[in-house]
């Protein structure tokens, strides 16, 4: 009987949600139609092609929208953001503070550290690509090539030779694999489709290695507290609750945030 009441309540809830959603769709459709009829002079020709004299066609417009939608993710994956945010997440898990610092603080901190680390690359792009293009000294194609090169050099400096050779072999690229003693910066002519996954793989390896090293001192504190409670017969007392203040105190006393930020910045050679 209770199950039937619960199912009826859930059914009523779903019907109410569906009705509200349907009303919202109808209202939005009505508003859009009103705006369209109120401004008959504004129109966008999505079928414009080569005959339109340089206007953007449907495929080009869709491609531009897709690039703009993926631009934040692409930029994040091509910078130092990945390593920083993963290490900060490992630190929070190692401390056992649940949601402190919150995700917004960690993401903001990672973004500003990324801006600090990537500032030389941004300055080089500004000097070699943006300013000459703005002054009309170079074309758009040349500006794009000059802008991509510093980013490639940055990613290649952080990429392991093993990871680069892995994706070179998978892509069956005609470029020979990196040999022992050969500079990895010499592969700047490679496409981003090879450099970016190699860079991300190396970043994940470094981030997990740093996360493992972060866990060790906090794990030792957990083991000491757990063994002490067991020896005192306090089996019902959660060790994590007792060890949390000691972990926070140790992290503050050794200036953990300063050490972590300095190590993260210096890890990008």
pLDDT of 122-179, one tens digit each? 888 888 888 888 888 888 788 888 888 888 888 888 888 888 888 888 877 666 666 6
Token pair in block for residue 143:
């500006």
Q: Are 100 and 61 in contact (CB under 8 A)?
A: no
pLDDT value of residue 148: 86
The candidate with the shortest Cα–Cα distance to 261, out of 87, 123, 89, 107, is 87
CA angle 261, 196, 147 (to 5 degrees): 85
The position carrying tokens 């017969």 is: 233
Range in 12-16, 48-52, 74-78, 122-126 the model is least confident about: 48-52
Rounded CA-CA distance 130/144 in Å is 9
Between 169 and 24, the more confident residue is 169
The pLDDT assigned to 51 comes to: 45
pLDDT at 208: 93
CA Rg value for the chain: 27
Is pTM, for the whole model, over 0.85?
no
Measured distance CA(61)–CA(59) in Å, rounded: 5
Instruction: Please check whether residue 198 is in contact with residue 163, taking contact to mean a CB–CB distance below 8 angstroms.
Output: yes
Report percent pLDDT > 90 for the chain: 8
Question: According to the model, what pLDDT value does residue 44 have?
Answer: 46
Q: What is the DSSP string of 167-179?
A: HHHHHT-SSPPPP
Question: Mean pLDDT throughout 9-15?
Answer: 61
Read off the pLDDT of residues 73-119 as tens digits, 9 standing for 90 and up: 777 888 889 899 999 999 988 888 878 888 888 888 988 998 899 88
> What backbone torsions phi and psi does residue 234 show, to the nearest 5 degrees?
-90, 70
């Amino acid at each position: 009987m209770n199950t039937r009441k619960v199912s009826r309540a859930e059914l009523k809830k779903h019907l109410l949600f569906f009705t509200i959603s349907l009303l919202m769709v109808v209202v939005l459709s009505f508003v859009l139609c009103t705006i369209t009829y109120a401004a008959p002079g504004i129109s966008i020709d999505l079928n414009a092609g080569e005959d339109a004299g340089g206007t953007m066609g449907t495929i080009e417009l869709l491609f531009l929208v897709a690039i703009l939608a993926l631009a934040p993710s692409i930029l994040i994956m091509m910078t130092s953001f990945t390593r920083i945010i993963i290490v900060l997440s490992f630190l929070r898990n190692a401390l056992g503070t649940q949601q402190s610092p919150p995700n917004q603080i960690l993401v903001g901190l990672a973004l500003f550290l990324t801006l600090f680390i990537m500032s030389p690359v941004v300055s080089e792009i500004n000097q070699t690509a943006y300013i000459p293009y703005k002054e009309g000294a170079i074309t758009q194609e040349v500006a794009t090539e000059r802008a991509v090169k510093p980013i490639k050099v940055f990613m290649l400096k952080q990429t392991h030779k093993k990871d680069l050779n892995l994706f070179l072999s998978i892509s069956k690229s005609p470029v020979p694999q990196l040999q022992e003693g050969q500079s990895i910066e010499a592969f700047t002519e490679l496409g981003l489709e090879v450099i970016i996954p190699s860079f991300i793989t190396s970043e994940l390896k470094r981030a997990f290695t740093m996360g493992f090293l972060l866990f060790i001192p906090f794990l030792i504190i957990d083991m000491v507290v757990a063994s002490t409670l067991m020896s005192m017969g306090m089996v019902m007392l959660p060790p994590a609750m007792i060890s949390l203040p000691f972990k926070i105190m140790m992290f503050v006393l050794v200036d953990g945030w300063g050490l972590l930020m300095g190590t993260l910045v210096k890890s990008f050679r």
